[in-house]
Amino acid sequence: MDAVVSVFPNGIKELHTTRSWDFVGLPQQVTRRTSVESDLIIGMLDTGIWPESQSFDDQYFSAPPTKWKGTCQSSLNFTCNKKIIGAKYYRINGEFPSGDIQSPRDTEGHGSHTASIAAGRSVSNASLYGLGSGIARGGVPSARIAVYKICWSDSCYDADILAAFDDAIADGVDIISLSVGGSSPYQYFEDSIAIGAFHSMKNGILTWNSAGNSGPDPQTVTNLSPWSLSVADSTIDRRFVTDGVSINTFDLEDQYPLVYGGDVPNTEAGYSGSESRLEAKLSSAIGLNGTIIAGAVGAIMQDDFNDAAFSFPISSTYLRTNDGTEVYNYLHKTRKPTGRILKSSEKGLESAPFVVSFSSRGPNAITSDILKPDLSAPGVDILAAWSEGTTVTGNIHGDKRVVPYNIISGTSMACPHATAAAIYVKSFNPTMSPTAIKSALMTTVQTVRQNLLRVWSNKSNKSCTSCTSQTDATVWDLNYPSFTISSSKNSKITRVFHRTVTNVGTPVSTYRATIVAPERLNVRVEPSLITFRSIGQKQLFVVSITAEINDSMISGSLLWDDGVHLVRSPIVAYAST
């Protein structure tokens, strides 16, 4: 069949689930081109949206932009407005999970959360039971939202993802935000997200992806295509704590008996003590599924990765392992141990931003010399709109808290931050191409201490998967904003990168190259001085990198500086296996 490009199984993908915009330097008073921003449309491929949320109110909005060609799948329980200008849902196999609503309405919470982070209206006094109280707002509150519901309670299917991409492209969106990904990487043209992003790029639409929540192990990022942008998750300068770390909306007013979960297994449910299921008033163990059934009022857990807080259906807290050991010792050395878990409180986080532990890391499992993730954005403890068709914890048994705003973490929350930043740039530069906007963000972001790339990979560096003599090329020929080299351990390697830059700053300007690199990384740039005479003028330069690679990653950067603007490209070399 001539019309069939490829065939692959209909696999599934998973969701990569106030203060943040101030933290990244986009305050409420920031200069905006509101009329232009209002003509820009964000395509949200997610779990749908809760249209009644104040974040999506359409007061003072004019009619949708004339370029909009999409539709709204209205129903008895869902209508669009001048803010949510389009909405569709997809389930090509026709089999809807029990309890899910067959409409673009969000009953998971995830889609409403991501949409409001990107483009939610400003809403005063938003909070989760007083936590995170303030003005909840998106990065581009005047932008329009087009909803494509691809995810249900049982995940997100490839066929639905591809159908949504086709519709979003045809409908006229300006950018696609997709906080969804596979559990493992696939070759680009066996990956529905990479395929959809490729077609959107060909139509002048950039796709922004979440990197995934499988860190801190290396080579866990799954959205890898060079024609999309992958976003890792970093912290903001606020965290929520109890005696440990959690989003705890409960406040136990009294002391309760404290027991170790392994000593009181939920035998009625068939668990043994070794499985640490809970059956007590206030328990110290890991696992919550049996807690409420057993009648416990709280749970104390331990984990050394506690740089993000999470919600539970009962009063809970996470302790570091050494603190958990102290609780365990107290519990077994005291005749009648008791405990109390306080409601969470807010504290500052001076070390922010840093990449959170669960954020998926590189290197790229498909093309080792393309650096992924591309950048990080706030995604830890983010307050944003929520669906009132679910609970704080997403319908976990026993949770009856229905809220309009919720605090959750994930690269899913980081992705719409980057999406909104791109739309903000586009509102001032309407003719800037998607790849130029991607490059602008990648080369002007703040650097953080953690390396997103860890040592681990050895894959093909072909930039095409079905190469011919006419299309065969290497990744070093791509005009990518970063430079990456991989080679075998204890080797010395040289790569040459050809790059083209376009002036989008001051019409007449001269940029000087500066190299920041350790001893084992030798970098030369020719020419080291670039002069522009007009906006849009292009110039060529060549970067030659020689790296002495042992068993650790080395990194540096190339800086272009005209005295006003600073453009930074990361340089990374690492040992593949």
What CATH number did the domain enclosing 413 receive? Answer: 3.40.50.200
pLDDT of residue 297: 85
In a domain, 62, yes or no: yes
Residues 392 and 266 in one domain: no
In a domain, 496, yes or no: yes
DSSP states of 415-448 as a string?
HHHHHHHHHHHHHH-TT--HHHHHHHHHTTSPP-
35 vs 552 pLDDT, higher one: 35
Q: What is the mean pLDDT of residues 551-563?
A: 92
pLDDT digits (tens, 9 = 90+) for 409-463: 999 999 999 999 999 999 999 999 999 999 999 998 876 544 333 222 222 233 3
Residues 64 and 135 in one domain: yes
CB 445 within 8 A of CB 353: no
Neighbour count for residue 167 (Cβ, 10 Å): 20
Q: How far is the CA of 234 from the CAs of 17, 206, 241, 333, 422, in angstroms?
A: 14, 22, 18, 40, 18
Q: Is the pLDDT of residue 273 over 90?
A: no
Q: Say which range, 51-60, 311-320, 522-531, has the weakest mean pLDDT.
A: 311-320
Q: What is the CATH number of the domain that holds 515?
A: 2.60.40.2310
212 vs 10 pLDDT, higher one: 212
Against a cut of 0.85, is the pTM above it?
yes
pLDDT of residue 418: 96
Q: Is the pLDDT of residue 278 over 70?
A: no
Residues 209 and 308 in one domain: no
Of 429, 452, 470, which closes a domain? 429
Q: Is the pLDDT of residue 472 over 50?
A: no
288 vs 397 pLDDT, higher one: 397
Residues 289 and 413 in one domain: no
Nearest to 186 by CA among 371, 12, 440: 12
DSSP state of 34: H
Residues 187 and 38 in one domain: yes
Please report, rounded to a whole number, the percentage of residues in the chain having pLDDT higher than 90: 65
Q: Exposure of 29 by Cβ count < 10 A (0-12 exposed, 13-18 middle, 19+ buried)?
A: exposed
pLDDT of residue 272: 65
Q: What is the mean pLDDT of residues 239-254?
A: 88
Residues 253 and 180 in one domain: no
Distance CA 412, CA 177 (A): 10
pLDDT of residue 287: 44
Q: What is the CATH number of the domain that holds 335?
A: 3.50.30.30
In a domain, 51, yes or no: yes
Question: Per this entry, what is the length of the chain?
Answer: 577
pLDDT digits (tens, 9 = 90+) for 126-177: 999 999 999 999 999 999 999 999 999 999 999 999 999 999 999 999 999 9
207 - beta bridge partners?
A: 176
SS3 234: strand
Q: Is the pLDDT of residue 469 over 60?
A: no
pLDDT of residue 286: 38
Residues 318 and 425 in one domain: no
In a domain, 200, yes or no: yes
Residues 186 and 250 in one domain: no
25: confidence class by pLDDT, cuts 50, 70, 90: confident
Residue 501 structural domain: 482-576
Active site residues: 46, 110, 412
Please state the domain count of the chain: 3
- The CA R_g of the chain, rounded to the nearest whole Å, is 25
In a domain, 5, yes or no: no
Q: Average pLDDT, whole number, for the chain?
A: 87
Residues 408 and 303 in one domain: no
Q: How far is the CA of 157 from the CAs of 160, 165, 181, 233, 344, in angstroms?
A: 5, 13, 10, 24, 37
In a domain, 447, yes or no: no
Residues 400 and 317 in one domain: no
Write out the two tokens for 485: 């080299």
Opening angle at CA 69, ends 63 and 75, nearest 5: 75
Nearest to 380 by CA among 9, 48, 70, 18: 18
The amino acid occupying position 73 is Q
In a domain, 3, yes or no: no
DSSP states of 308-365 as a string?
S----SSEEEEE-HHHHHHHHHHHHH-SS-EE--PPPEEEE-TT-S-B-TTS--BS-S
Contacts of 487 (CB under 8 A, 6+ apart): 493, 547, 549, 573, 575, 576
Distance CA 569, CA 153 (A): 40
pLDDT digits (tens, 9 = 90+) for 111-134: 999 999 999 999 999 999 999 999
531 - beta bridge partners?
A: 510
Q: Say which range, 53-57, 141-145, 270-274, has the weakest mean pLDDT.
A: 270-274
202: confidence class by pLDDT, cuts 50, 70, 90: very high
Residues 294 and 409 in one domain: no
In a domain, 396, yes or no: yes
pLDDT digits (tens, 9 = 90+) for 537-552: 999 999 999 999 987 8
pLDDT of residue 471: 41
Residues 67 and 143 in one domain: yes
